[in-house]
Chains A and B, each alone.
Chain A
Amino acid sequence: MNRNPLRYAAPTAAALVLALSLSACGASNESDSSDGASTGAAKVTGTLNAGGSTAQQAAVAAWTKAFQTTNSGVTVNYDPVGSGGGREQFIAGGLQVAGSDAALTDDELAKAKTKCKSDVVEVPTYVSPIAVIFNVKGVDKLNLSPKTLGGIFQGTITTWNDAAIKADNPDATLPATKITAVHRSDDSGTTQNFTDYLDQTSEGAWTGKAVQTWPVKGGEGAEGTSGVVAAVKGGDGTIGYADESQAGDLGKASIKVGSDFTAPTAAAASKVLDASEQVSGRAATDIAITVNRKVTDSAVYPIVLVSYQIACQKYDDKAQAALVKAWLTYVTSADGQQVAASSAGSAPLSSAFVTKAQTAVATIAGA
């Protein structure tokens, strides 16, 4: 056996590297000092544990950045566990704020009220238009009526030159390519909202009801928004649905609303909330919305995902209440909505809704 000096050098070096990497605590962009501009409104401090909807993740990241910058003593943790998990953990008390692509069900609401020992504050925070994206050689503009759309995703319309599609696009030259309809293979709020739209408007062409898990056999499944986009991009004759902001350079179909065809834009999408009704029989602070998919005003784009943030109205801890209140106040403010629009591609809430949401949030208080 050779007595090599390296025998001792190597472990020492390894230990050194480890020590170095561990002693360099904290990333360069993370400072725990709470100095900075200390002027301005009363600051909140503490840790806000939120979680839920993955759809809101990008928007929450933008809000967190702005919120943590103005309130340097705050840490916001948002855990994208999914809407169902977010609601469940909120009810179990693990999260102070839940993000969810669907409002609480009556059953969940009752449980949440028991947990909070007060009413629940539920405000829409994130509205995103869902675009119908397609990739068909030689077609760059596409108009679709809800009935045709339902038929395509149901699997009853199978080729691009089908009479129904032709009727919607009298001027386009449509190839005889087979239609490959791409849907989300994971459970998602996007699917829930898309199928809800089809269920209400397709005049029976869609039979799958409004569900989270894609209900119809056939077609093609893809994981996540990025998976759907990649699958649509990768094939010819493909069509799918995805958040408008992620569609990239793919073609986006205009959907028939009323008598005209509307393209998926943030502006058109944000109008849908104003045209919709609140779920009746709930507390004033619970702004759960039944999205009106059957609007006839063609300035409105009805295929949208509405995502909420849910909080208690009363918290035992005053500081906690102040933090949640400050957070939701910022998120639902015109500023907050604009930040989300520019970094997550969402549709900002209309000013009427901002006022409504802010009123609800203002009721949050310490017990």
Chain B
Amino acid sequence: MSTTQATRKAPPVRPGDRVFAGLSTGAGILILVILAGVGIFLTAKGIPGILAKPDEVKSGQHFLPWVWPLVYGTLIAATIALLIAVPVAIGVALFISHYAPRRLGQIFGYLIDLLAAVPSVVYGLWGIQFLAPHMVPFYAWLNKHLSFIPFFGEPSATGRTILTACIVLAVMILPIMTAICREIFLQTPRLHEEAALALGATKWEMARLAIFPYARSGIVSAAMLGLGRALGETLAVAMVLSVTAGEVTANLIGSSNPSTIAANIALNFKESTGLSVNALIASGLVLFIITFLVNFAARALVERRSEFSGAN
């Protein structure tokens, strides 16, 4: 708003307003700078690693053939984890916000919030000591009855497979996704809900008509946050997953699994020197680009769909 053509209606612009607007805009721009910073620093440190010759890095391979199995493993693990976690998170959030008795829902919500802070080491230990051994008979069963599906090949004897890692990841991203979905479900305008019920909708129809359209962008946000965690989760995957360098396989229950980018960084960062470190940082850049693309796609999808939805 310009001060020169100030009419009686427009409030005068005061210094306080200027400062406040400046601060807010500055904060917004700072975020862009940080994000650009992340990209630039990773690129600057990563490029020598991308250009390194095979005999200069420990892997003994060019960058692309080296990073490709890791990208594959990362995508597989995150996708399956998200497939498991999203429906469950929505279900749990809906249960807490609309199905459970209110007091009980609050207690459960509180419990689940707590789990967002459990360090990944604990999930890793839980995965390797508790979950993996319990999955062994299940994997043997899958292999026996469903081995015609390429996902269920030769089973592992310890259960430390990529599917186990996916389950651990799903459990890890569940709390934060549930917390966000729950908050958004609770914010659905009361009037929308009551209008739906008054028209004779069942509870489920009410959820479909009033809650979900309202919450769609929030659910996508929650899923993206979960995906970010799943893509980038490091130590839990490193501890649970039995990895074989350079493996690309469809078998989800075998003992040779592709590693993920993040786990690979954690496993090799300590003992790496020189260009090998740059190669690891470059793989981090690849991970960053993947998250960027996935978010881009998800945003585009939500924006297009929200045009047709009346609730937003």
Q: Show the binding face of A for B, using Cβ within 8 Å.
A: 54, 80-85, 87-88, 178, 180, 182, 185-188, 212-214, 217-224, 227, 230-231, 234-238
Contact = CB atoms under 8 A, between A and B. Distances in A.
Interface of B: 58-59, 128-129, 132-133, 136, 156-160, 238-239, 241-247, 255-256, 259, 266-274
Contacts of B133: 234-235
Contacts of A220: 156-158, 160, 242, 255-256
B160 A222 contact: yes
Nearest to A88: B273
Given A186-B268, A221-B244, A234 B158 contact: yes
- A185, A217, A222, A227: most-surrounded residue (chain B CB, <10 A): A185
A84 B272 contact: yes
B140 to A, nearest CB: 11
A223 B239 contact: yes
Contacts of A178: 157
B239 A238 contact: no
B270 A54 contact: yes
Contacts of B132: 234
Nearest to A185: B243
A235 B139 CA distance: 13
Question: Which DSSP category, helix, strand, loop or mixed, fits chain B's interface?
Answer: loop
Contacts of A221: 241-244
B255 A219 contact: yes
Given A81-B270, A84-B273, A230-B129, A235 B245 contact: no
A188 B243 contact: no
A173 B67 CA distance: 45
A221 B273 CA distance: 22
- B158, B159, B247, B255: most-surrounded residue (chain A CB, <10 A): B158
Contact of A235 (B157, B269, B272): B157
A347 B157 CA distance: 33
21 contacts: A81-B270, A84-B272, A85-B272, A87-B273, A88-B273, A180-B157, A185-B241, A185-B259, A186-B238, A213-B58, A214-B245, A217-B246, A217-B247, A220-B255, A222-B160, A223-B238, A234-B132, A234-B160, A235-B157, A235-B159, A238-B157
B267 A234 contact: no
B128 A227 contact: yes
B157 A187 contact: no
A187 B239 contact: no
